[in-house]
Structure 1
Amino acid sequence: MFQTDFDGTEKELATSYIRRNQTNQIIRLYPNPVISSFYIAADKIQTGMPYIISDVSGRVVQEGMVNDNPISVISLAPGAYFIRIHQESDIIMLPFQKM
């Protein structure tokens, strides 16, 4: 994967490995694009599981615990993000767009 900066310089980024959910469950993040908050729906995601939101450069911008309420991202700048949820031996990674 390559990144082009505003000044035109390019650099190669490290490739990340994302493990597929071993239970093959369907996981939804909605609404996407996100204005202020979103929900995550999946059979095996439980309250109290930690999540990390990072921007496309990998910088962590928000952390928390999954609960029954929507996840608020109102403080994030518009752009592309990923949420990682740590679930037992799996890591679920979902992309979303903040408007």
Structure 2
Amino acid sequence: MHITGNVTSTAGNLRAREPSGPSAESSRIRSDVDAARNTALSALNNDRFRVMLEQISDPRASGALMTMGADSGGGAATDLNTALSRYAENSE
């Protein structure tokens, strides 16, 4: 997935709307919104993130996640070594 288009900053759009100039609070909010937008665009253009989204949105993934639940033998939790071993097997 690659996002393209005309993405303008919120700070530039909102600055023109303020009649008395930007306050410190509104400047901080605009800066936070711009940072969030940049982070989201970066994630959407990241190949590793795209592959991860494709994998978790695959309907077959829900079955794999269900098998990672606790064993039916008394509901004991999976220890760390078992979890790491299962992760290694599934990563191959």
Q: TM-score, normalised by structure 1?
A: 0.17
Structure with more of its chain in helix, by fraction: 2
Larger Rg: 2
Q: TM-score, normalised by structure 2?
A: 0.18
Structure with more of its chain in strand, by fraction: 1
